[in-house]
């Protein structure tokens, strides 16, 4: 997370600065302070995961059904080389569920995908 140093120094117990504005609500729906967030465990995940079933129905052919996952949220940041402004990259990805348990969490899934793949997907959506 992002922290800035004030007169008292850094503290590992909270996050502050511009990053707080990206998390206006905690995981229970309560409003966060936009200046400082003290309970980092209450911040919702940057990427959420939702399992779903996909059915492809084509008349005259047997239905195809797949167990799928949708991952949606903040996938990273890009920086403008002239202004140095940061822009959150928000998008979604739908995948077939893995046949085995190699992907244990959404973080493992994201780490397995290369940054280029994710950026291509995000750019294709905008």
53/72 same-domain check: yes
105/72 same-domain check: yes
CA distance readout (Å), 74 to 12, 98, 99, 102: 23, 22, 26, 23
11/57 same-domain check: no
pLDDT of the residue at 75: 80
96/121 same-domain check: yes
4/25 same-domain check: yes
The 3-state DSSP class for residue 12 equals coil
Query: Residue 88's closest CA among 23, 6, 13?
Result: 23
Number of domains in the chain: 2
116/60 same-domain check: yes
Residue pair 75/86 in contact by the 8 Å Cβ criterion: no
Cα 73 from Cα 109, distance rounded (Å): 14
Q: Whole domain around residue 8: which residue ranges?
A: 1-44
pLDDT of the residue at 47: 81
55/30 same-domain check: no
53/34 same-domain check: no
pLDDT of the residue at 103: 46
Cα 13 from Cα 43, distance rounded (Å): 13
pLDDT of the residue at 113: 55
119/81 same-domain check: yes
> Which ranges constitute the DSSP H helices of the chain?
106-112, 115-125
81/36 same-domain check: no
pLDDT of the residue at 82: 92
Residue numbers of the chain with a pLDDT score lower than 70: 1-24, 32-45, 98-126
pLDDT of the residue at 99: 46
14/61 same-domain check: no
């Amino acid at each position: 997370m992002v922290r800035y140093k004030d007169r008292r120094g850094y503290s590992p117990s909270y996050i502050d600065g511009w990053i707080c504005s990206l998390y206006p609500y905690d995981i229970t729906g309560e409003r966060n302070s936009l200046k400082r967030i003290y309970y980092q465990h209450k911040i919702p995940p940057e990427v959420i995961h939702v399992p779903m079933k996909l059915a492809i129905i084509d008349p005259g052919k047997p239905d195809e059904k797949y167990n799928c996952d949708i991952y949606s949220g903040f996938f990273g940041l890009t920086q403008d080389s002239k202004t140095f402004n940061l822009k959150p990259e928000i998008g979604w990805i739908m995948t077939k569920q893995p046949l085995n348990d190699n992907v244990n969490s959404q973080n493992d899934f994201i780490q397995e995908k290369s940054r280029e793949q994710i950026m291509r997907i995000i750019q294709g959506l905008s």
